[in-house]
Each structure stands twice: as structure tokens, then as C-alpha cells.
Structure 1
Amino acid sequence: MIIPAIDLIHGQVVRLYQGDYQQATAFTIDPLSQLLSYQAQGAKWLHLVDLDGAKHPDNRQSALLASLVSQLNCQVQVGGGVRCEQDLHTLLECGSDRVVIGSLAVQQPKLVCQWLDTYGSHAICLALDINIIDGKKSLAVAGWQQDAGIALESLMAEFLSHGLSHALVTDISRDGTMTGPNVSLYQELAEHYPSVHWQGSGGVASLEDIEAMRNSGAAGIIVGKALLEERFSVKEAIACWPNA
């Protein structure tokens, strides 16, 4: 499945390079028009990231998110700075079908496991950002600025026991680089954890990358910068990897 994505700062569509706010590229496009275009081309899910909320929950773009989601007919997953249950509530109240939870899942896994029990696995997607060093998948937190000192594999048993079914994994070294996704990473994850619907993220630059990911075992691929730069369209991507 192709999952088009946009990141938002102060209501503007942007892309960061490897999570660095100092290396943001702004696009002079209307976010709603862009999302409606993706929907019209066949997207069944869209991915929104509130980078203001990710930096500080008090700056969450709740009104904008609610307005965008209310005008879409497809399903939407939203992330950005979920630090407590109220943040989760806020994003669900904005109309999100699924909330993406990143650093908190690494730092307080027991709390997020409780939310999986309460809200159901359909409502939560973990965002696991990793640096691969000597083969070890080391998790990063705080907007990729800190190494958590925890391997991805060490988290999985606990989350799986609480019914985890959706996880987005980003190879940080690929994000924003347009060098292609880490296909072997998703092949490994799909093989070891077949009950999880893995979403790939980072590095997609061409339709050839989409084709490679189609056979990786991942359930979907997040595509952001390549679409904004019009390297290919959502319609063309879906032709390579039809939605389930």
C-alpha cells in the first residue's frame, strides 16, 4: 500500500532532512489541496506529521489537523509529539483513524501497551526510528537527536504480547536522502514478526524503489518528498504497488 505523507510546520508543508529542523525545505502548496489530490489519485491512507506538536505539545496544530481530516474521505494516521494520554485523545478527537506514537513507545513501553489494551491495536501505530550500527538496530528518540540505547528487537516481545499490529520503521540514514529504502531491513522485520503490518519510511526516490518495497513483505510505504518533488505521482506509485 502507498501511504502519501505531508509534514506541517505553522500550517506549511515542509520536509526535514534526517529529522533536522534546521534543514527544512518548505513547499508553497496548500496542504488540503495536496491531500485531496493524493486521495483523488487513489490513496486509501494518508500520513500527517505535526512537527510543531512534535517539538512542543503546546504548539500542536489541532485545529488545522481537525480541519484537514474532516474534509477527507480516506483514512488518516497522524503523529507528532504524543507524550501523554491527553495527546492521544486530542489526535483521535481531531478525527485521526490511527495515532502514530514514537519516542514515548521507546521510553515508556508499559504505558503505550496499556493504550493498546484500551484503544485497540487498530488505533495505534508505533514509529520506531533506528540507526543501524554494526548490524544492531538502535532506537533513537527526541526527534532522532538521542540514542535510546535500546535495540528494536528488545521492544517487540512486550508490544506483541499486547496485540501490536501496526509499526512504522524509519532507517534514519535514508530519510530525506532519496537514496532508496532499506529493503533488506523490511524483509527481515516481516520475516521475524509476520503478525505486524510494517510500514517502511525513508529514501524513496523512484518507482523502482516502490517496486522493490512491494516484494519486501512490508504492508506499506510512506512516501513524502518524492511526491512533493513530483518525481512520480500517487497514481503511478499505486500502479506499481496496488492498494490492498
Structure 2
Amino acid sequence: MRLLWWWLVSCAGWSTQACAGEAALLFGHDDRRPVAVSEAPWQSLARIETQGDNLCSGVLIEPHWVLSAGHCFLTQQGERDPVRSLTLAGSQQERGVDSVFLPTRLKAGLTPDGEGFDISPEAGAFDVALLHLKETVTDVAPLPIWPGSASRLAGQLARQSVSQAGYPVDHPDTLLAHDHCRVERINERGMLEHRCDTLAGDSGSPLLLRTPAGWQVVGVQSSAPLAAQRAQANNLAVALPTVQPLLRHWLSQPLSPSR
């Protein structure tokens, strides 16, 4: 599966119009809408830029922690791409990042293709990153991650749709959400195959499930197929039960980022 976050190669600048090839990635109709960033759950979403000019999304899951996609923080040469700016939708204050945790197995599964990465099926299920903020967030409420097993999540998703939101390349300064989109299944690699409308920039954005306990993060957007493959392939997000042990390990070691 090709990752479509390296958008500066194919889109000249911060355009307000969808790039021709990327617009075809939507599922026949653009179901996204702007959301009120002062309201839950949207206020907890993050807009992230790296020093290499990559745009990604994320979500605050603890007062010091933002969850995103791992590939966002690697260059084509396999080096770390540090965070230049991070802002939460519900607060325009820029947040400092002092550590970025990445799975050791992710880098080996990414193959540069000149415009982005091809990601191996084995590595795709670990396309996550955890960003440690320098200061505690007190003005925006975190969103908890799904606490249950993959089988429980699969059962819930068979009965209920999800919502996804992020900062896509065609509207990089506007948080757009797709409500009530479908997750087709959790595949054998631990990925959510879903039909939410995502473009470059949405990498790292959360898939959200509304539960009796409130909104919970169930997945992290990773990759999309090429436009020519759209009719045959779904978008892919990391199912959080797949990486729960890894996230718990990182959360217990906030100042020792995994290499």
C-alpha cells in the first residue's frame, strides 16, 4: 500500500483545491464537512507540521501525549523528521514536542518511491507514533483510546459506524470530518479497512467511535491506495488493539523515545 502523505511533490503549495489525482481518492462523493473546533471530540485533534514540510494530523490522548502516524516523522532517507509545529483544534496555542516515539519495526517496512513510501503489510499495522508534549495540556480534554480487544472492537464496528477527522491537503487549515463512515473489517494484520474520505494530510488522524462512555479512538489513519485502485481497495488505519502493548510501554517511559 502506498502512503500518500508526501503531498508537496504532487501539489504546488497550500492549495485550497484538491489535487486532481488525490480528489479521485474519495469514494465517489466528498462527504467531509467542517466541524466546530470548540466542541468535543473535534477540539482534541491536532495539526502537525514537520521540519521537512510534511503535514499530518493527530489526536490528544493524554494531557502530555498526541497519537499520530509513524511514517509522518521519517524522511525519504530514513532519518527522523522533527516536529516543527503542533496545534490542537480547540486551542491555537502552539505546543512544543520533546520526544517522538516510533516502532523499531516500522522503518524497515517503508520503501521510498520518490513521492512517498510503499509500506509493507507487516509494517503497516505498526504505523503509529506517540508525541510527548513539553507542557501539560489543560485547556483541551484528551480522548481515551479503545480499551478492549480486537474481537470486541470488530463486533462493535459490525453494528456501528465511525467518524474520522483531520487536516487534509486540499483544506490544510480546516478540520474536516467524515461522519458515519464504515469500517469494513479488521484484517489479519490488525488494520481497519475503512471507507472514510481521507487525503494526504489526514495521516495520523483518528477514527472515532461514540460509546456510552463517550468518544473513543479506535484507529489511526495510515494509508490509502492509488487513485486507480480506489474501486478495489479501502483505506487503511491501524486498529488500536494491535498496538496497545506498545502504547502502554511508551506511556510508561515518557523521556526514552524508541529508535
Same topology, TM > 0.5: no
Q: Normalized against structure 1, the TM-score is what?
A: 0.29
Higher RCO, Cα 8 Å, sep 6+: 2
